[in-house]
Structure 1
Amino acid sequence: MTATLSKPALRIGPYQVDPPVVLAPMAGITNVAFRRLCREYGAGLYVCEMITARAVVERHPGTMHMMTFDASEYPRSMQLYGVDPATMKEAVKIIVGEGLADHIDANFGCPVAKVTRKGGGAALPFKRKLFGNIVRASVEAAEPAGVPFTVKFRVGIDDDHHTYLDAGRIAEAEGAAAVALHARTAAQRYSGKADWSHIARLKEAVTSIPVLGNGDIFTAHDALRMVAETGCDGVVIGRGCLGRPWLFGELEAAFAGKPIPAGPNLGEVARVLRRHAELLVEHDGPDKAMRDLRKHMAWYFMGFPVGSQLRRRFAMVSSLDELDELIAQLDHDAPFPADALGPRGRQGSPGKVTLPHGWLDDPDDPCVPEGADIMHSGG
């Protein structure tokens, strides 16, 4: 495993990313509070929640609030979603012109039906010319300011329609600074296992820019194994850090060849949860912060002996005082459970991908899909 340490450092444009670890943008999760919590454990590139290009152009107030970065956060990394080269170009111009971010990533990985049925998300790379036009327009807008533009996508629509090798080559040719592959098809959604062999194939096809791997990294050992097995230049962490922001400390140790810290006991987890709550309150005010915190409870307490009644109360917590009262009832000495290292977050089941009528007829059709610039989540 230590053979990975001899690889050149990961560079995204002018930025060295050491360890070669990227936090994947997750809707409703990777706000400024969660990113700061993760950054307190280890270095890496921490990407904010995904922003739609149209919302940037229209200066949607909620979107502008989501684009908040901590004063110590650098480089500031933002993920954009868009389907129209002109809208993407205009959004990138605004972001770089007003100094709102230092790195922009484009999301072509969302498998959600309401997105793919409009031709967006993971459906879009099938349209090679449109995909290339979006990357080219975005790079043209970002490049003069020295802001690297990167692209994330999936293996393809389904097992009969793999798009990732074309997408990787096109992104490379159009000036992207790096590509990232979630090693599942849209049809898999988040089910089953990610097939890392596709990451290895993409690494062979894309030779002049970094290739990052994403999918089923739940431990630091998983990250080292992905790099060793695929030759990828870095890893993208999504669901594995839900309720486990300390994973980034474990990743930093692993990539440095140091012993991986033991998992925290329940008392330490409670302290992290309390810190998370404070940071959310600072960002969003107490009411929204506590509502937001509730979804994290099951992840933080996964595998711990908390008890169903106390879990229910945590999942309905409405104030910091109530949170403190509940934390006091936990067994702070309970050790970190060995069975809490596996999958977490959404998994679901595979299904047929919903596409616009005739979407698969012509992969070289450059037309922009109608009505696909909608708010959504994921990748």
Structure 2
Amino acid sequence: MSVLPTISPAPALRIGSLDLDVPVVLAPMAGITNTAFRRLCREFGVGLYVSEMITSRALVERNKETMRLIQHHESETTRSIQLYGVDPKTVSEAVTILVAEDRADHIDLNFGCPVPKVTRKGGGSALPWKQDLFRDIVEGAVKAAGDVPLTVKMRKGIDADHLTYLEAGKAAEGAGVASIALHARTASEFYSGNADWSAITRLKETVTSVPVLGNGDIWSGEDALRMMSETGCDGVVVGRGCLGRPWLFGDLAAAFTGSDVRFRPTLGQVATTFRRHAELLAEFFESEERGCRDIRKHVAWYFKGYPVGGDLRARLATVESLEQLDELLATLDWTLPYPGADAEGQRGRAGSPKRTVLPDGWFDSRTLGAAGRGTLTETEADTSGG
């Protein structure tokens, strides 16, 4: 199941000094894209695998958990870290640490997170509304990064009446970023509905000197090819589509090299991958118990569409040891074939549109000013811890 098609020696995508064999990037996902999951995905396909979001202030403070999260396994030959921050000075200091201590080969800045604990501080997808703050963060980070490629990932804007992606894209391009990725939804849409791929087309038409990557509703290799064909984007960023399906990166590698080979795992192959994921999590956390606790949230994603009864799913979702996990997986009929469409399509939370939580008076002006920055610097401390 892990045999990949031959990759062309010519890079499919160049991000600064990085050459990617296929134009595929793993989207940072909190609590998901840790070293364990990145290693598992790499066993199936090639691409650029980005860490879960790291808080700049926590990194500058050298928070113990944060310092652990930025570590990479020796097999991760391109070390990619995503940073979040709302204060230009702190973000620049965090980038400086990563570069000076040789901890990253690629750094991404998060301007796309829609969750309330981030946007209420003016961060994530709320931040590009303040044009001066966005520009200063990106310019400072690019300068601090030096020869290390620095990229940005963002959304269309806060809501349909407050779009920011085109002007933010031009500002980031002018600041010298190596690429720009767009999740083609607004913050208020969260993950609901369908991604607006036409926005990716418009961004690609606006930003002409660096690669533009598209993100949103890529559930298969065919979706990735269609996005690039329809929008003209230079690469794709894959998030929820790989939940419980790390082999999707093998499908993407095949699709981009013209192969029609696709992974259609039996239930036994899914069980084997699920067990491997749990083992890697135990290694990552340096605790079998903690690794087993973490694998629980992946149960529904891995076994989506497969005939696994509710009682067994519930027991897998409360597993406490690898030995117990082995006993439960042994009760499955490993010969059952791939169930087809039932195992495909959307996964992860879609939710419904909601009003984005923002700092008071956020829409009053497109600039923040010195007084506002002081407030943001103070509130950023609340996110310390990675």
> TM-score range with shorter-chain normalisation?
over 0.9
Counterpart of 1:94 in structure 2 is: 97
Tell whether 2:230 aligns with 1:229. Answer: yes
Q: Deviation of residue 366 (structure 1)?
A: 4.0
Secondary structure in structure 1 of the residue aligned to 2:331: coil
> Structure 2: how far apart are the matches of 1:374 and 1:147?
28
Counterpart of 2:162 in structure 1 is: 161
1:81 equivalent among 84, 94, 98? 84
**TM-score normalised according to structure 2 size:** 0.93
- Where does 1:45-194 land on structure 2 (aligned, <5 Å)? 45-143=48-146, 146-194=147-195
- Where does 1:262-277 land on structure 2 (aligned, <5 Å)? 262-277=263-278
> Residues 113-143 of structure 1: CA distance to partner in whole angstroms, max 9, x if unpaired?
2221221111100011110000000011001
> Residues 275-305 of structure 1: CA distance to partner in whole angstroms, max 9, x if unpaired?
1111111111201100101000110000100
> Residues 335-368 of structure 1: CA distance to partner in whole angstroms, max 9, x if unpaired?
2222221111111111111211211121133442
Q: Are the structure 2 counterparts of residues 57 and 102 from structure 1 closer, same or farther at C-alpha, using a change threshold of 3 Å?
A: same
Counterpart of 1:375 in structure 2 is: 383
- Kindly provide the amino acid, as one letter, of the partner of residue 254 in structure 2: A
Q: Deviation of residue 261 (structure 1)?
A: 1.8
Structure 2: gaps spanning 5 or more residues: 1-7
> Structure 2: how far apart are the matches of 1:362 and 1:53?
25
> Residues 193-228 of structure 1: CA distance to partner in whole angstroms, max 9, x if unpaired?
100000000000000000000001011111000000
User: Which one is further off, 297-306 or 257-266?
Assistant: 257-266
Secondary structure in structure 2 of the residue aligned to 1:317: coil
Counterpart of 1:280 in structure 2 is: 281
> Residues 90-132 of structure 1: CA distance to partner in whole angstroms, max 9, x if unpaired?
0011110000111000001111122212211111000111100
Counterpart of 2:301 in structure 1 is: 299
User: Which one is further off, 318-327 or 67-76?
Assistant: 67-76
Q: Is the 8 A contact 1:82 1:373 kept in 2?
A: no
Structure 1: gaps spanning 5 or more residues: none
Q: Are the structure 2 counterparts of residues 200 and 377 from structure 1 closer, same or farther at C-alpha, using a change threshold of 3 Å?
A: farther
> Structure 2: how far apart are the matches of 1:263 and 1:355?
43
Counterpart of 1:14 in structure 2 is: 17
Q: Deviation of residue 373 (structure 1)?
A: 4.8
- Kindly provide the amino acid, as one letter, of the partner of residue 307 in structure 2: P
> Structure 2: how far apart are the matches of 1:293 and 1:340?
19
Counterpart of 1:213 in structure 2 is: 214
Q: Is the 8 A contact 1:45 1:77 kept in 2?
A: yes
Tell whether 2:319 aligns with 1:317. Answer: yes
Secondary structure in structure 2 of the residue aligned to 1:291: helix
Q: Is the 8 A contact 1:127 1:366 kept in 2?
A: no
Secondary structure in structure 2 of the residue aligned to 1:360: helix
Identity, in percent, stands at 62
Q: Deviation of residue 9 (structure 1)?
A: 2.5
Tell whether 2:373 aligns with 1:365. Answer: no
RMSD: 1.6
Q: Deviation of residue 8 (structure 1)?
A: 7.3
Secondary structure in structure 1 of the residue aligned to 2:362: coil
Secondary structure in structure 2 of the residue aligned to 1:78: strand
Q: Is the 8 A contact 2:11 2:19 kept in 1?
A: no
